[in-house]
Amino acid sequence: MQTGTGRFVDLIHRKKEGKALEPREILTMIRQYVAGEIPDYQMSAMLMAVCFQGMDDEELTALTLAMRDSGETVDLSRIEGIKVDKHSTGGVGDKTTLVIGPLVAACGVPVAKMSGRGLGFTGGTLDKLESIPGFCIGLSEDEFFEAVNSTGISVIGQTGNLAPADKMLYALRDVTGTVESIPLIASSIMSKKLAAGSDKILLDVTTGSGAFIKDLDQSRELARRMVAIGKSAGRETVAMLTSMDEPLGYAVGNNLEVKEVIRTLRGDGPADLKEVCLALAGMMLSLGREGLTYEEGRELAEKTMESGAAYDKFIAMVKGQGGDLSYIENPDRFERAAFQGEVKAKEDGYLVSMDTEGIGITAGLLGAGRDTKESKIDYSAGIIMKKKLGERVQKGDVIAELYTADKERLMRAEAYMGACCQISDIKPEPVKLVVDIIR
């Protein structure tokens, strides 16, 4: 590593002291890490230094572009039409891609999407899709194009050589407590989005107790920095700030969330999930169709959802990627957890706030996430919330049901989740779901 001394440890010291790194140093760092010349323990220390010290715009652009250029970039020109990508900064019970993808595709805008796995306390679209028996997220590039051209939608994992630097850093951050950092999140998301080749990008920047960035001003800053990276790379980028002060919908955990998606696409989903999905789909449609406003896009999305066409598109996607349709047609077939527990209200009052990150951690304790890079997920594990923010509860009412394959995990999770929901006598204001739009 060319750092003056040639030692990477000196670069770590510089960042730790809050000094800026040179763009060429950042480029070399990413190249060497991907080549296996910088060990995970040193990169972990660098990531932790970035978490504490941040990065300026020049460093952030250099990091994002180095990560984008660490592998191949996708050419989506074999797919007709304007390709709009959507990416969430992560949340708890955030299953929007599985609803919006088929919905937007059913409106005629192609969805060629590369998604990610769970990170920290949040779930990942790929893990959710893989909870559908047979569903293949590892299509080749040709199969991916073929699927989008024939059904209008395909959702796959990042290809092996698309932003490999992000793939490696993402897995490392997940297990080293280095997820919550504006430059690390912004570069992770934007490097993938820029490499994935779409014409336009919609970012769902979550904010609140279940988001990586909890503070509204900081979330705005994350949105602003990602929109700026998109602009400097010549891609129209819009960010929607959405609330994550409680899990989206009721279900948290892989096959539990897929079942909720199926209900939503059949017209019987939770109101908050539906509202956020219609807003995001409306924005994707307005970006993907010349002359369509956001409001018109939202209206089109709502009509399409009601017509059942989005559900049909979801079926076509699952079929096209090898998933067993009998599970979609009859969701009771999904594997059920062997053990079930409950979290009950300790007093009378209104549910005024939730530690939504804590709820995500509880889902992980139940087996819905990974403790280490190698952990296997229990697809049936997770939580079904029985109450939403602002609801009146009485002492002893069930606030959440917990599901897991492992009795010991259940005991730990029940104890942890017990402290995640706060009750008070004062009725809270209703939650605003779409908080802001940043262009």
Give dist(CA 10, CA 306) in Å, integer.
Answer: 59
Beta strands in 42-198 (DSSP E): 84-88, 111-115, 153-157
**3-class secondary structure, 80:** coil
What separation in angstroms does the CA of 203 have from each of 30, 424, 426?
24, 34, 34
# residues near ligand URA by CB under 6 A: 10
At position 136, the amino acid (one-letter code) is C
**3-class secondary structure, 399:** strand
Give dist(CA 322, CA 132) in Å, integer.
Answer: 10
- Give yes or no for a contact between 439 and 201, defined as CB atoms under 8 angstroms apart: no
> Can you say whether the dihedral through the CA atoms of 409, 385, 303, 297 is positive or negative?
negative
Site for ligand URA in 357-386 (CB under 6 A): none
Catalytic residue among 15, 113, 192, 220: 192
> 191 or 286, CB closer to ligand URA?
191
Stretch that binds ligand URA, among 180-188, 276-284, 379-387, 388-396 (CB under 6 A): 180-188
Nearest-CB residue for ligand URA: 188
Question: Measured from the CB of residue 217, what is the shortest distance to ligand URA in angstroms?
Answer: 19
Instruction: Report strand pairing: 200-207 vs 236-243.
Output: parallel
* Residues 215, 367, 134, 309, Cα dihedral to 10°: -40
What is the pattern of x (binds ligand URA, CB under 6 A) and - over residues 64-103? -------------------------xx-------------
Taking CB under 6 A as the criterion, the residue among 115, 178, 188, 219 binding ligand URA is 188
Catalytic residue among 14, 15, 83, 87: 87
- Give yes or no for a contact between 191 and 64, defined as CB atoms under 8 angstroms apart: yes
> 104 or 185, CB closer to ligand URA?
185
Question: Measured from the CB of residue 89, what is the shortest distance to ligand URA in angstroms?
Answer: 5
Catalytic residue among 188, 191, 209, 243: 188
Told to check if 116 binds ligand URA by CB under 6 A, we report yes
Catalytic residue among 68, 128, 167, 173: 173
Quick check: is 166 catalytic? yes
Q: Which of 6, 3, 32 is nearest to 19 (CA)?
A: 3
DSSP secondary structure letters along 410-438: HHHHHHHHTTSEEEESSPPPPPPSEEEEE
Question: Measured from the CB of residue 297, what is the shortest distance to ligand URA in angstroms?
Answer: 24
Question: Measured from the CB of residue 184, what is the shortest distance to ligand URA in angstroms?
Answer: 6
Give dist(CA 162, CA 168) in Å, integer.
Answer: 11
What is the pattern of x (binds ligand URA, CB under 6 A) and - over residues 207-236? -----x------------------------
Quick check: is 40 catalytic? no
DSSP code of residue 244: -
Catalytic residue among 127, 166, 272, 355: 166
Taking CB under 6 A as the criterion, the residue among 49, 104, 105, 119 binding ligand URA is 119
Quick check: is 13 catalytic? no
Both tokens assigned to 404: 């897991």
- Give yes or no for a contact between 423 and 357, defined as CB atoms under 8 angstroms apart: no
CA within 13 Å, CB half, 356: 30
> 189 or 285, CB closer to ligand URA?
189
Question: Measured from the CB of residue 166, what is the shortest distance to ligand URA in angstroms?
Answer: 7
Question: Measured from the CB of residue 192, what is the shortest distance to ligand URA in angstroms?
Answer: 6
Question: Measured from the CB of residue 173, what is the shortest distance to ligand URA in angstroms?
Answer: 7
Quick check: is 204 catalytic? no
Residues near ligand URA, by CB under 6 A:
89-90, 116, 119, 170, 184-185, 188-189, 212
- Point out the residues that are catalytic: 87, 166, 173, 188, 192
